[in-house]
């Protein structure tokens, strides 16, 4: 086969490796290098680094609006184009180029959580299960029929970063299964997505990071997990703005003003919420590093007197 791979972030790297196992990749497309780090120098994407490491030709067009970009892709004569978190919307004129179209590895059980942040939104919503779909791409946003899928449970205390890594590996497995069928001359059966159960996983925004103590504790605990490692939940704790890296919901006597510290100790700092309490276990002061609640209390001993 002749495979063109298109992807950009770390999530796509395991799928790139899976697609490359038989030496069939003829080119790798990824986003142009972007400014990064304190010096704001141009940095290659994780997919570009992996592709260069493996010796693949790397292409980085801004988009496919030009005829030249589309003709360059068509000249590769791809049997299939594998797209994993590429970051560009592909027009129908591009989707029609590969003999078997474009296949997308998506980190949710479609039609739930179409869109940019399915991993984090699943945790934030309290989902017990998620998975990966291998989808035949069409013009709509993650609306194409599903070729293969596999589900996994979401662990009780799993963070966005941990689930991201598990789904990246699972996506590579599902992609490898699909490519294996195609090599054998078996085109996976495309199953249209149902109309019921559609939800959208909108892109994460740092403005969402603030914890609202008036909300139920389980909701806030899910948000803390989902937003780790980015953008990291933030809250005001006894007058100080902190980032919350780890927390769980616990029971609490009703009636306390949301945001009030109810208890402190080695297990954490319990803060009253609209329902229950959030026990903060790992947090970060401005300019500092993430530390345990016990270490934080060593620097704010006045909080040890909390009721």
Instruction: Point out the annotated binding site for (6S)-5,6,7,8-tetrahydrofolate.
Output: 108-111
Contact indicator for 102, 81 with CB cutoff of 8 Å: yes
Residues with Cβ within 8 Å of 223's Cβ and at least 6 positions away in sequence, in order, are 124, 211, 233
The rounded Cα 77 to chain-centroid distance in angstroms is 31
Cis peptide leading into residue 13 (ω within 30°) = no
- For residues 126 and 218, the answer to whether their CB atoms sit within 8 Å is yes
Distances (CA, A) of 242 to 148, 296, 305: 42, 11, 20
Annotated binding-site positions: 108-111
Structure-block tokens of residue 91: 């027009």
What phi and psi values does residue 220 have, to the nearest 5 degrees? Answer: -70, -40
Distances (CA, A) of 14 to 34, 106, 171: 21, 13, 8
* 214 SS3 class: coil
**9 contacts 46 by C-beta, under 8 angstroms:** yes
CB of 149 closer than 8 Å to CB of 174: yes
How far is CA 193 from its chain centroid? 21
Q: Where are the beta strands (DSSP E) in 116-171?
A: 129-136, 146-153
């Amino acid at each position: 086969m002749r495979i063109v791979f298109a992807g950009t972030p770390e999530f796509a790297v395991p799928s790139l490796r899976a697609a490359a196992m038989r030496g069939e990749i003829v080119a790798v497309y990824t986003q142009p290098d972007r400014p990064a780090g304190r010096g704001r120098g141009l940095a290659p994407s994780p997919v570009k680094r992996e592709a260069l490491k493996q010796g693949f030709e790397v292409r980085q067009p801004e988009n496919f609006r030009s005829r030249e970009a589309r003709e360059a892709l068509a000249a590769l004569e791809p049997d299939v184009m594998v797209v994993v978190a590429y970051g560009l919307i592909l027009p129908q004129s591009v989707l029609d180029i590969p003999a078997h179209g474009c296949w997308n590895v998506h980190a949710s059980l479609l039609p739930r959580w179409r869109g940019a942040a399915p991993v984090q939104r699943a945790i934030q919503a309290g989902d017990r299960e998620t998975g990966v779909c291998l989808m035949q791409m069409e013009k709509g946003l993650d609306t194409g029929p599903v070729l293969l899928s596999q589900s996994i449970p979401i662990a009780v205390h799993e963070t966005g970063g941990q689930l991201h890594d598990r789904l990246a590996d699972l996506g590579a497995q599902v992609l490898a299964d699909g490519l294996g069928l195609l090599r054998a001359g078996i085109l996976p059966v495309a199953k249209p997505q149902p109309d019921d159960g559609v939800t959208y996983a909108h892109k994460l925004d740092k403005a969402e990071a603030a914890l609202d103590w008036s909300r139920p504790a389980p909701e806030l605990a899910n948000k803390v997990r989902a937003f780790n490692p980015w953008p990291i939940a933030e809250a005001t704790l006894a007058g100080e703005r902190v980032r919350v890296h780890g927390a769980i919901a616990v029971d609490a006597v009703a009636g306390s003003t949301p945001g009030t510290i109810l208890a402190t100790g080695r297990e954490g700092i319990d803060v009253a919420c609209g329902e229950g309490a959030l026990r903060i276990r790992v947090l970060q002061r401005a300019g500092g590093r993430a530390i345990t609640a016990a270490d934080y209390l060593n620097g704010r001993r006045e909080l040890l007197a909390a009721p």
